[in-house]
Amino acid sequence: DIQMTQSPSSLSASVGDRVTITCRASQSISTYLNWYQQKPGRAPKLLIYAASSLQSGVPSRFSGSGSGTDFTLTISSLQPEDFAIYYCQQSYSNRYSFGQGTKLEIK
């Protein structure tokens, strides 16, 4: 099975900061990598698909990059509504797996 590892596990930042979250796959997954945002008590929400494509309706301050085994999610200027947990997920293998999550907290 493909293991997805995110870093950091938690992150404190301020409104207006630029933030980067990293996701590493245990084997190459090309660009079959998606990012989700989850707020307390809510279902995950798709942000980025195919490593770098922005889902419709998602603000342009979110961006994704990477291929192979190393990927990043960047938020260019944090807004109050961005404080949440972020998950990466691979769709290369049909044993879909998620990273353990990165909790983004207000500093």
Partner 1 sequence: QVQLQESGPGLVKPSGTLSLTCAVSGGSISSSNWWSWVRQPPGKGLEWIGEIYRSGSTNYNPSLKSRLTMSVDESENQFSLNLRSVTAADTAVYYCGRRCTSTTCPTYTFDIWGHGTMVTVSS
Q: What are phi and psi of 37, to 5 degrees?
A: -115, 135
86 binds partner 1 (CB under 8 A): no
99 binds partner 1 (CB under 8 A): yes
* Sign of the alpha-carbon torsion through 58, 61, 65, 70: negative
Choice between 19 and 34, CB closer to partner 1: 34
89 binds partner 1 (CB under 8 A): yes
Token pair 């990477």 is found at 66
Q: Which stretch binds partner 1 (CB under 8 A): 12-20, 63-71, 73-81, 92-100?
A: 92-100
Bridge partners (DSSP) of residue 6 are 23
The residue ranges that bind partner 1 (CB under 8 A) are 1, 32, 34, 36, 42-46, 49-50, 53, 55, 87, 89, 91, 94-101
